[in-house]
Chain A
C-alpha cells in the first residue's frame, strides 16, 4: 500500500529553467493538494485538484506556476523560469473522495526540495 509518491526528491535548477514536480496520490485517492514550505516556516496552500479539474488555485502565484492532474498519470506542478525565491520544499497530499469521519484524511508525500542556483 504505497503512500503518496513524489519525485524527484531533490531538484536543482538554474535561474530561468523550468521545474517539474510529480505527485502520485495514494491508491483510491482522487483529490490532490500542493503545499509549499519555505525554510523554517509552515506549509502554505498552493492548489487543490481533482482529476482533470483545478478546484482552488488561490494560493498559487499568478505567473510562472501551473498545476495539472490528468485523467491518467501523476499530478504535475510546473514552475517556469525559476528564480531563487522559488527554492523551497514542495509537498503534495492526497485524500479520498469520502470523509472517513476522522477528518480530511490527508496523507503527505515526502516532498521535493527545489534549489534554484
Chain B
C-alpha cells in the first residue's frame, strides 16, 4: 500500500519568513495530493491540493509543488503569520477515473509555530 513520509516533524519560523514542508510517497499510482491544516481541537481543513498532471499550484501565500519522477511534493507558505501556526498534514490518494473514491494516506504531520 501507499506510504507517505513527512518532514520536518516540527518547524519554527519568525513572522514574515517562509515555511516549507516536504513529503514523499511510495505508490506511483497516486495522483492526488492534498494538504490539510489542523488547529487544536478541530478537524483537518483542506488548504490546497494538486493533481499529478500539474507541477505547481498557488493560492495567495500558499503553494504546492509536485515532482512525480522523484515522488515528492512540498508545501510552501510565504509571509507567515502567527495564525498560520497549526499542524499541517500532507496526504496522497489514487482517484479512479470517474469516481470520487479517494482513500487518503496521511503523513505524520508537521507542527508549525510562527513567532510574532
Chain B nearest CB, measured from A94 CB (Å): 10
Chain B residues 1 to 53 lying within 8 A of chain A, measured CB to CB, are 4, 6, 32, 34, 36, 41-46, 49, 51
Interface magnitude class on chain B: 20 to 34
Q: Give the chain B neighbours of A98 by CB distance below 8 A.
A: 100
**In the complex the two chains form, is B101's CB within 8 Å of A109's CB?**
no
Chain A nearest CB, measured from B1 CB (Å): 8
Given A33-B103, A98-B100 in contact, is the A42-B108 Cβ separation under 8 Å? yes
Interface magnitude class on chain A: 20 to 34
Contact with B along A92-104 (1 / 0, CB 8 A): 0001111100111
Given A42-B89, A42-B108, A98-B100 in contact, is the A109-B43 Cβ separation under 8 Å? yes
Chain A residues 19 to 54 lying within 8 A of chain B, measured CB to CB, are 31, 33, 35, 40-45, 48
- A residues in contact (CB < 8 Å) with B: 4, 6, 31, 33, 35, 40-45, 48, 55-56, 59, 91, 95-99, 102-111
- B residues in contact (CB < 8 Å) with A: 4, 6, 32, 34, 36, 41-46, 49, 51, 89, 93, 95, 98-109
